[in-house]
Amino acid sequence: MKEWMKQVPPDEVKNYDKAGFMSEAKIGERTALIVIDVTYGFTGSEGLTMDEAIAEFRPACGPIAWETMPRIARLINMFRELGRPVVFTRGHPYNVLFAGKATKSTRSMKQPPKFNEFPPQIMPREDEFILEKTRASVFFQTPMASYLVQNQIDTVIVCGVSTSGCVRASVVDCFSHGFNTIVVDDCCFDRSNYAHCANLFDMHAKYANVVSLDELEPLMLGKQMQKAG
Amino acid sequence: MKEWMKQVPPDEVKNYDKAGFMSEAKIGERTALIVIDVTYGFTGSEGLTMDEAIAEFRPACGPIAWETMPRIARLINMFRELGRPVVFTRGHPYNVLFAGKATKSTRSMKQPPKFNEFPPQIMPREDEFILEKTRASVFFQTPMASYLVQNQIDTVIVCGVSTSGCVRASVVDCFSHGFNTIVVDDCCFDRSNYAHCANLFDMHAKYANVVSLDELEPLMLGKQMQKAG
Amino acid sequence: MKEWMKQVPPDEVKNYDKAGFMSEAKIGERTALIVIDVTYGFTGSEGLTMDEAIAEFRPACGPIAWETMPRIARLINMFRELGRPVVFTRGHPYNVLFAGKATKSTRSMKQPPKFNEFPPQIMPREDEFILEKTRASVFFQTPMASYLVQNQIDTVIVCGVSTSGCVRASVVDCFSHGFNTIVVDDCCFDRSNYAHCANLFDMHAKYANVVSLDELEPLMLGKQMQKAG
Amino acid sequence: MKEWMKQVPPDEVKNYDKAGFMSEAKIGERTALIVIDVTYGFTGSEGLTMDEAIAEFRPACGPIAWETMPRIARLINMFRELGRPVVFTRGHPYNVLFAGKATKSTRSMKQPPKFNEFPPQIMPREDEFILEKTRASVFFQTPMASYLVQNQIDTVIVCGVSTSGCVRASVVDCFSHGFNTIVVDDCCFDRSNYAHCANLFDMHAKYANVVSLDELEPLMLGKQMQKAG
């Protein structure tokens, strides 16, 4: 059983099953990867405790971020090798002043530059796109949907931070826009493990397929072989 | 302490506090109430057990729906007495065939007419609006935002079903559109109490103020007296 | 030279050419047809003069509507024979009360039922979709984009009424969403021939390829043969 | 009679009147000004002929831009003196590579930096916002609507370039979102006078009130005095 299912009362899971939730979705031919907000503002510098990370950047997730990072790097690398597009997102520091920020938290709207920088492990390449946003969802008032339409993407794979915030909001929108949506559970992280698990459960029940990196790899490579064969 | 906070590990709550989440928002001058999807499809007929309700309509929430209903009716009534607008939402049976449905569940897209009917306790009046939608969020590809703009609404109060599905998705969008957003916890319900609590926590931390009906009433009436005085 | 080009001063056309407008676009593999607002409200009953048509329904276009209708029917038929989807749009009489209407005209928001009915010549079939809208653009706050994404449409062909109103607004949005967009000039009509020509010119210069029905047919059939061959 | 009406056949204008178009709209209490795309890319350097301007930047409008500029500066100044917000827009050079550009023209997506710079006459102040966009409409996939909602703006005044492109597309969206919309005709410009006139006519007929700067000033100052009085 998935780790994030253990927190859910078994009786309630049964009701989801009866109601027809939790169904399997298929991976399509034309995939894209979205790496959500994996910048220092949401990780904190490497090696800090949780308290130190929050002291550096209030929304930082600390140790769990750095534990997850190598798997995100592996996921990004798989897309690069398959020649499939990778889009990185982060906050838009200027537009945030214009339109407000992703959450109602009291943290300042002005952040030091490092807040929006990417750690070297998952640094975008020159030819990869960095999409800046003002709200939780990477689709809300950004050109994301038009990019996916123009590239005739049918399946979006999602990873990043936080599971209960920007990842969840983006996944709901991705599904709503009509894209087949897959969340990689062990490539997402959150400041609360409770919220991480609860949101993976919700997303899997209603909007996406939630799989691990180990589960995703053969699916993606299978697609590739199918195309090559 | 709020009921829905008890499920969250105290250490994790502390991290939210340090990070600046969970802040208070203010209620504005021009409020509107959105009652999300309180139709038989999400309640089931009155008096059924959970199993019987799911057998009638797969997404039905059963007994908790009928326990919550009188409070929703009281909330609606408060808005009517204050002369503030109430919008009711439900699925759009025809557009669902066109554009797909709110979740990836395996349940049929064709539903019997009763699925989309409102129970008498919360029946919209002739002069109140019923907005039909195809996705979880009441804002997604519907005229909701234009209605709120045209009526210069600054604060949206949200109730209905399910807390973890259509309510959550709508609240994220409502906040993202720039409206001050308030969720009435004991006027929302869900087939899973676990998901109900987890999503109230997320919404309160990030996008909205989550209050009880008893807490909302003096706030709303205070506004009214202020205007009258 | 296209009829609608003759109205444009030749010097100004030269400037468009120098600036790189008026380029050719390609028709894609997966087409859909959108038939915009061809209901009695925008045609008037058959056989009326312009004045009589306006007296029946204020936004009616009169004789030009009925002159264009057989070509629209031929265009619809081509899509049906190729097995490609056809979407019909019209005003949403109920949502118009909620969210306002497509233009700022003083005409009433309550219309008799015939206003939103389709003439027999272009009547949608049982299995074709009728999308209802409140604004000029068929994309604005409707599930149109999600439908096109889900069906992985890459090219949208547009016809209907009015060229300078709902057709123009829809074409701008269609292009903005990332779809290859084609307008069939002699399958569009308008109450003003001046505005009809001016808007075909604008759309061709900036957002779409404007072609006649005779020009479109071999392109569509070529695609089809390509797929069949 | 307005200059841009003279181009419209009088019979056709009569039909618009009968149909209820061309109605007057009211200016609201809370206005904002949007200055659309007045950068060197759409003006060319000062003092160039039309041909020289196009040679510098393909979409440049040349002399008419510089003739209009002082009036745009006067309009901006009026908003500054009244303490009302001014938003400047321009293309987003990076996102254009991601999501494509505002028109289907063959001009390059990579532009030299000067393309997106503002002439000194209308330079935004430190505390004014510059919103970057990828499509014709300033609302399409940008935070514009959320900004207006958050600031409870009820009336948007629009000026800039080109009348038939980004101004027209933005005005249709502005009206569709539910904002009262006013276009200042002699503060808009276009590479084609024909298209400039045709689009002012369309906008006035359907989506906005088109007024001159001289007509707008007393309306705006009247509002101000009303508030102050």
CB-based burial label for A120 (10 Å; 0-12, 13-18, 19+): exposed
Average per-residue pLDDT in chain D?
93
**What secondary structure letter does DSSP report for B152?**
T
Interface test with chain D among A95, A97, A125, A133, by most D beta carbons within 10 Å: A95
Query: What are chain D's domains?
Result: 27-228 (3.40.50.850)
pLDDT at residue C224, as a whole number: 59
Q: How far is B78 from chain C (nearest CA, A)?
A: 21
**What secondary structure letter does DSSP report for C123?**
P
pLDDT tens digits, B159-192: 999 999 999 999 999 999 999 999 999 999 999 9
Instruction: List chain A residues with CB under 8 Å of C154.
Output: 152
Instruction: Say if residue A225's pLDDT is above 60.
Output: no
pLDDT at residue C229, as a whole number: 43
Please name the amino acid found at residue D81: E
Residues 107 to 126 of A: which have CB under 8 A from any C CB? Answer: none
Whole-angstrom CA distances from B173 to A106, B136, B176, D141 are 19, 10, 5, 14
Q: How far is A168 from chain B (nearest CA, A)?
A: 9
Instruction: Say if residue B226's pLDDT is above 60.
Output: no
Instruction: Say if residue D186's pLDDT is above 70.
Output: yes
Instruction: Say if residue A221's pLDDT is above 50.
Output: yes
pLDDT at residue C226, as a whole number: 57
Query: Where does the pLDDT of residue B108 fall: very low under 50, low under 70, confident under 90, or very high at 90 and above?
Result: confident
Instruction: Say if residue B19's pLDDT is above 60.
Output: yes
Q: Within 10 A of D114 (CB to CB), how many other CB atoms are there?
A: 12
pLDDT tens digits, B185-210: 999 999 999 999 999 999 999 999 99
Strands (E), chain C: 31-36, 86-91, 129-133, 155-161, 180-189, 209-211
- Sequence-ordered list of residues with C-beta below 8 angstroms from that of D123, at least 6 positions apart, any chain: none
Residues B100 and B94: their CA atoms lie apart, in Å, by 10
Average per-residue pLDDT in chain A?
93
**What secondary structure letter does DSSP report for B132?**
E
Q: How many inter-chain contacts (A to B, CB under 8 Å) are there?
A: 157
Q: How far is A147 from chain C (nearest CA, A)?
A: 7
Q: Under a CB-based contact definition with an 8 Å cutoff, are residues C33 and C86 in contact?
A: yes
Interface test with chain A among D88, D90, D95, by most A beta carbons within 10 Å: D95
pLDDT tens digits, C46-63: 999 999 999 999 999 999
Among A187, A201, A210, which residue's Cα sits nearest to residue A71?
A: A187
Instruction: Say if residue C115's pLDDT is above 90.
Output: yes
The beta-carbon neighbor of A146 closest among C150, C152, C176 is C176
Q: Do D104 and C208 touch (CB under 8 A)?
A: yes
Give the mean model confidence (pLDDT) for residues A67-78: 98
Quote the crossing angle between the two packed helices B193-206 and A193-206, to the nearest 10°. 120
pLDDT at residue A22, as a whole number: 74
Looking at chain A, the whole-number percentage of residues with pLDDT higher than 70 is 97
Q: Do B19 and A194 touch (CB under 8 A)?
A: no
Q: Within 10 A of D99 (CB to CB), how many other CB atoms are there?
A: 25
DSSP line for A126-163: TTSEEEEESSSSTTTTSTHHHHHHHTT--EEEEEEE-I
Residues B163 and B160: their CA atoms lie apart, in Å, by 7
Q: Determine how β-strand C129-133 pairs with β-strand A155-161.
A: unpaired
Phi/psi of residue A81, nearest 5 degrees = -65, -30
Strands (E), B82-217: 86-91, 129-133, 155-161, 180-189, 209-211
- Sequence-ordered list of residues with C-beta below 8 angstroms from that of A191, at least 6 positions apart, any chain: A50, A59, A60, A61, A62, A64, A162, B12, B15, B16, B19
pLDDT at residue B173, as a whole number: 98
Contacts 24+ apart (CB under 8 A), C52-59: C54/D15, C54/D18, C54/D19, C57/C111, C57/C115, C58/C105, C58/C107, C58/D18, C58/D19, C58/D20, C59/C105, C59/C107, C59/C162, C59/C191, C59/D19, C59/D20
CB-based burial label for D225 (10 Å; 0-12, 13-18, 19+): exposed
Instruction: Say if residue D215's pLDDT is above 60.
Output: yes
Q: How far is C141 from chain B (nearest CA, A)?
A: 4
Instruction: Say if residue B142's pLDDT is above 90.
Output: yes
Q: Which of C61, C159, C166, C187 is catalytic?
A: C166
pLDDT tens digits, C138-192: 999 999 999 999 999 999 999 999 999 999 999 999 999 999 999 999 999 999 9
Angle value at C-alpha C163, between C162 and C169, nearest 5 degrees: 90
Residues A100 and A94: their CA atoms lie apart, in Å, by 10
Looking at chain D, the whole-number percentage of residues with pLDDT higher than 70 is 97
Instruction: Say if residue A161's pLDDT is above 70.
Output: yes
pLDDT at residue B229, as a whole number: 43
Give the mean model confidence (pLDDT) for residues D68-87: 97
Instruction: Say if residue D229's pLDDT is above 50.
Output: no
Q: Do B152 and D152 touch (CB under 8 A)?
A: yes
Q: Do D149 and B149 touch (CB under 8 A)?
A: yes
Q: Do C143 and B150 touch (CB under 8 A)?
A: no
Instruction: Say if residue D100's pLDDT is above 60.
Output: yes
Lowest mean pLDDT among B65-74, D5-14, D121-130: D5-14
pLDDT at residue A222, as a whole number: 77
Interface test with chain A among D135, D141, D148, by most A beta carbons within 10 Å: D141
Integer-rounded Cα Rg, in Å, for chain B is 17
Tokens of C137: 């653009």
This model of the complex carries an ipTM of: 0.95
CB-based burial label for D174 (10 Å; 0-12, 13-18, 19+): buried
Query: Where does the pLDDT of residue A223 fall: very low under 50, low under 70, confident under 90, or very high at 90 and above?
Result: low
Say whether residue C134 is in contact with chain B using an 8 A CB cutoff: yes
Instruction: List chain B residues with CB under 8 Å of A23.
Output: 104-106
pLDDT at residue A229, as a whole number: 42
Phi/psi of residue B166, nearest 5 degrees = -65, -35
Average per-residue pLDDT in chain B?
93
Please name the amino acid found at residue D119: P
Residues 190 to 229 of A: which have CB under 8 A from any B CB? Answer: 191-195, 198-199, 201-202, 205-208
pLDDT at residue A25, as a whole number: 63
Q: Give the chains touching A; criterion: ≥3 Cβ pairs < 8 Å.
A: B, C, D
Q: Under a CB-based contact definition with an 8 Å cutoff, are residues B58 and A17 in contact?
A: no
Q: Under a CB-based contact definition with an 8 Å cutoff, are residues B180 and D149 in contact?
A: no
Cα dihedral C200, C201, C206, C207, rounded to 10, equals 10
Residues B208 and A104: their CA atoms lie apart, in Å, by 7
The beta-carbon neighbor of D15 closest among C137, C141, C191 is C191
The beta-carbon neighbor of A98 closest among D97, D129, D141 is D129
Looking at chain A, the whole-number percentage of residues with pLDDT higher than 90 is 81
Lowest mean pLDDT among C109-118, C199-208, D46-55: C109-118
Say whether residue D176 is in contact with chain B using an 8 A CB cutoff: yes
Instruction: Say if residue B89's pLDDT is above 50.
Output: yes
Phi/psi of residue D91, nearest 5 degrees = -65, 150
Interface test with chain A among B8, B13, B15, by most A beta carbons within 10 Å: B15
Strands (E), D42-167: 86-91, 129-133, 155-161
